[in-house]
A and B are shown apart, each in its own frame.
Chain A
Amino acid sequence: MSGLSRRELLLASAASTGGLLLGWFQAGPRVAAAAAKGASTEFAPNAFIRIGKDGRVTLIMCQVEMGQGTYTSMSMLMAEELEVGLDQVKLEHAPPDDKLYANPLFGDQETGASTSVRVFFDPLRRAGATARTMLVAAAAQTWKVDPASCQANRAVVTHTPTGRKLTYGALAEKAAKLPVPTQVALKAPKDFKLIGTPAKRLDTPAKVNGTAQYGIDVRLPGMKIATVAASPVVGGKVAAVDDSKARAIKGVRQIVRLDDAVAVVADHMWAAKEGLAALSIRWEDGPNGRVSTADVVRGLAAAAQSPGVVVRNEGDAPAAVAGAPKKVESVYEVPFLAHAAMEPINCTVHVRPDRCEVWTGSQVLSRAQGGAANVTGLPLDKVVVHNHYLGGGFGRRLEFDYVTQAVRIAKQVEGPVKVIWTREEDIRHDVYRPYYYDRMAAGLNAGGQPIAWTHRIVGPAILARFLPPAFRGGIDIDGVDGAEQLLYAIPAIRVEYVRHEEPVLNTGFWRGVGVTHNNFVIESFVDELAAAAKQDPVAYRRALLSKSPRATAVLDIAAQAAGWGRPPPDGRSRGVSVLYSSWGSYLAEVAEVSVSKVGEVRVHRVVLAVDCGTEVNPDTLKAQAEGGIIFGISGALWGEVTLENGRVQQSNFHDVRVLRINETPAIEVHLVRNLEAPGGMGEPPTAVTAAALANAVFAATGKRIRKLPLERQLRSG
């Protein structure tokens, strides 16, 4: 076992070829000549950069901005090689186009899985370098000099020996007529001016004065506002609707009935909401109408009795566990989780006979376009999707269920309609993080060291639905992510995956994806082993990480900064967690908590050390660390979605509790600087947090929490 997952290997191949990744996909982000546009005054050497005769530099954002700072990091990659300042660029949302803007990891246009910097690090630098090379060539031709005697800086080409200068604007027309070079030289890291420096985000000025446009802010002439009630049970249908009271409400224009939902179309959201409340809908629940969470857990527990597909196998781990002097066995469970992004789900659609326009915020623009095309029966080129800033994604906007629903509604409405889900609808019709059920066992030798490790993961295969070609050999590579790459040096390891679907709720990706679940399980269980061996949790892990210098380094940094080994302040206890997965980043976190007599957990301090390789925007990395930790704390302490009679019981922020400012701990982030390949950073800090908290709770109370959320378990005795 090299420590590289197949996903990383594939990623490495993508990085080296700039395109082909998972075999079935051919396009990749490529440098495409834009000559067909015939805009002779505009220089557009590829799909990412346009330079006008007026000198305006426009960068097209293939990855969407949902808070993670990607508009700034993608711009930095291009600006670095293009030799322009970030103050000199204008940004534009890319339209849906898998041929031009596909994320090479997925094969289509997707922003997710902490991939943007990893997969676009080379392609976008090449896009910038290509444009700069052509501009320099245009200048050199103008002056009849050697291009090597010219330099570009801040959108100006200078002929160094004579000091002559030409702006990019002045060169645009000439550059546009030059052939696009197939090979360009990229800068050496030592020459980076932008990459690795803390750049101000480009999206923030509009976000502090109310002018930033999110999907929900779309306004069109004649636009109506709709809100919707979908079947409260997955698979349920509308049996009957009495809309007489709703129609009497001023501002209500139309009631739209779909087979599984009813929408009220109105002049404004208030009338739509009032209209929805006045509807009397009878639902035909279908087969899921009696299902509760306990049924789901029973199904998973039963499935966990059978062996799964072997994901990783070294030695004979089951036999070694059975024969070990000491054996530790545990079952771990994590609940369904809602995303609860601050911008409630919404989508605006105008369906005309020959054309459909969609305005929304989506992590999967081309899928949204395809969904709208399917519903309308229009060809793709008649479906226009306008992307906007996303008021949070966290994986929710990797789904386009809300786009197809809005198009289905809009098909029955004259003119444009903005469909806004209430928060209650948003929570109850999410695409949830799945419930997972894990069986762990380890054998320890007389010295307490693990000699064998078995991990059986039981849960649905999100990838089988989301990206079928990536679901191979019965293994969901996301579902096993982090478990497969276990860094601990244990002689016998077996990781198994049991696919078990409980189609009573729609499930999908949640910040930290598969690793959020696996890291909680693995790092809690390692803590159990340390406790069984009566050893210090940090020292125990450190001894097992001897072959992983980068993991050891972050563990040492976090432990030292947190004061591990010295007593914590009165009433507080510490827990540690280490993370490595297909993201390629190494993290170690120490959390300091106190637990009240009634089982309330207060998180006082979190110290995180990160080695995510080459840094693009260090301040964004820190922001992602802070935010990811906070997202992880909310999920670990309180997060759960439960079912009763097929219905989600939670509905708004009173029962979907999330961390608030007064509950937020001091957070310290330590970044390790190096020039390793960039690793993911949007999700790992969320994924590493639950175990650090659970282990701190164990240190505080002696109680091992094997089922989330933490506070419910502490209170249940």
Chain B
Amino acid sequence: MALDLHSLDAMLTLRINGKSHKVDAPPDMPLLWVLRDVLGMNGTKFGCGVALCGACTVHLDGIPRRSCVMPVSAAVGHAITTIEAIGATPIGKKVQQAWLDVEVVQCGYCQSGQIMAAAALLAKIPAPSDADIDQALSGNICRCGTYPRIREAIKRAAQTRTAERGS
């Protein structure tokens, strides 16, 4: 007789962008698919499914994580932030503005992940060096080749922050 897999599920409570969500999902289901297919939050993108491209990057307690390989059960009890809400943080807002000012985006598909990685970097290192940017963003692939502008936008966002702090 087949194992009743239904019985293994439980309602999980996730805290996403400051709001509580109860979801019915297998505990090993990656957070990416919970966000996209269960909750309908489509800003976080599927790119590779194995943490090689960074398109699915979200923050867990401010730390960038690849949601395509993170079991949803591991996200319970942590503050999850996605691209939909990163603009509500001062750093995220500056990153988005820098992205627009520098005209980073081409197809845009990877940019949710790029912006989440950049925002996490700037939260940790307010004035990142080129090496810091390489380190933090090398896991995020962009096939359109927006890397030079991503670098420039991160530096611009860092400068805006520094300027504001100085004033």
Given contacts A250-B6, A269-B46, A270-B30, A208 and B145 within 8 Å (CB-CB): no
B103 to chain A, nearest CB (A): 6
Q: Is the CB–CB distance between B45 and A343 below 8 Å?
A: yes
B133 near A: Cβ within 8 Å?
yes
Q: Is the CB–CB distance between B45 and A391 below 8 Å?
A: yes
B8 to chain A, nearest CB (A): 8
A659 near B: Cβ within 8 Å?
yes
- What per-residue 1/0 map shows which CB atoms of A92-109 lie under 8 Å from chain B? 000000000000000000
Q: Is the CB–CB distance between A623 and B106 below 8 Å?
A: yes
Given contacts A250-B5, A623-B103, A653 and B141 within 8 Å (CB-CB): yes
Return the contact of A270 from the options B33, B134, B139 (Cβ within 8 A): B33
Q: Is the CB–CB distance between B48 and A662 below 8 Å?
A: no
Q: Is the CB–CB distance between B46 and A631 below 8 Å?
A: no
Given contacts A217-B42, A627-B106, A662 and B138 within 8 Å (CB-CB): yes
B59 to chain A, nearest CB (A): 13
Q: Is the CB–CB distance between A629 and B145 below 8 Å?
A: yes
A residues contacting the other copy or chain, number (CB 8 A)? 65
Q: Is the interface of B mostly helix, strand, loop or mixed?
A: loop
Chain B residue contacts of A213, Cβ below 8 A = 42
A626 near B: Cβ within 8 Å?
yes
B52 near A: Cβ within 8 Å?
yes
B26 near A: Cβ within 8 Å?
yes
A659 to B110 CA separation, bound complex (whole angstroms): 14
B residues contacting the other copy or chain, number (CB 8 A)? 64
Nearest B residue to A69 via CB reads B106
Chain A residue contacts of B115, Cβ below 8 A = 208
A343 to B146 CA separation, bound complex (whole angstroms): 15
Chain B residue contacts of A205, Cβ below 8 A = 100
Q: Is the CB–CB distance between A208 and B100 below 8 Å?
A: yes
Q: Is the CB–CB distance between A342 and B45 below 8 Å?
A: yes
Chain A residue contacts of B53, Cβ below 8 A = 342, 653
B15 to chain A, nearest CB (A): 18
Chain B residue contacts of A389, Cβ below 8 A = 107-108
A343 to B106 CA separation, bound complex (whole angstroms): 13
A392 to B109 CA separation, bound complex (whole angstroms): 8
Q: Is the CB–CB distance between A340 and B143 below 8 Å?
A: yes
- What per-residue 1/0 map shows which CB atoms of B17-38 lie under 8 Å from chain A? 0000000011001100100111
Nearest A residue to B116 via CB reads A210
Given contacts A209-B96, A210-B82, A342-B143, A204 and B45 within 8 Å (CB-CB): no
Return the contact of A208 from the options B38, B96, B139 (Cβ within 8 A): B96
Chain A residue contacts of B105, Cβ below 8 A = 67, 201, 203-204, 207-208
A433 to chain B, nearest CB (A): 14
A526 near B: Cβ within 8 Å?
no
Q: Is the CB–CB distance between A342 and B55 below 8 Å?
A: yes
Nearest B residue to A211 via CB reads B43
A210 to B55 CA separation, bound complex (whole angstroms): 12
Given contacts A248-B2, A342-B53, A270 and B40 within 8 Å (CB-CB): no
Chain B residue contacts of A216, Cβ below 8 A = 42, 45-46
A190 to chain B, nearest CB (A): 26
List which A172-211 residues lie within 8 A (CB) of chain B: 200-201, 203-211
Chain A residue contacts of B45, Cβ below 8 A = 214, 216, 342-343, 391
A650 near B: Cβ within 8 Å?
no
- What per-residue 1/0 map shows which CB atoms of B113-132 lie under 8 Å from chain A? 00100000000000000000
Q: Is the CB–CB distance between A214 and B6 below 8 Å?
A: no
25 A–B contacts from the bound complex (CB under 8 Å)? A210-B41, A210-B83, A225-B37, A249-B5, A250-B26, A268-B33, A268-B38, A269-B46, A270-B33, A343-B47, A343-B107, A389-B107, A423-B47, A626-B146, A627-B144, A627-B146, A652-B50, A653-B53, A658-B141, A659-B147, A660-B140, A661-B138, A661-B151, A662-B137, A664-B145
| 13 extra A-B contacts, CB within 8 A, seeds A423-B50, A626-B146 | A68-B106, A208-B115, A211-B43, A212-B108, A248-B2, A248-B3, A269-B46, A342-B53, A344-B47, A629-B145, A660-B138, A661-B133, A667-B148
Residue positions of B touching A, CB distance < 8 A: 2-3, 5-6, 9, 25-26, 29-30, 33, 36-38, 40-50, 52-53, 55, 82-84, 86-87, 96, 99-100, 103-112, 115, 133-135, 137-151
Closest 10 CB pairs of A and B: A210-B43, A630-B145, A67-B107, A391-B109, A207-B108, A627-B145, A67-B106, A268-B37, A662-B134, A210-B83
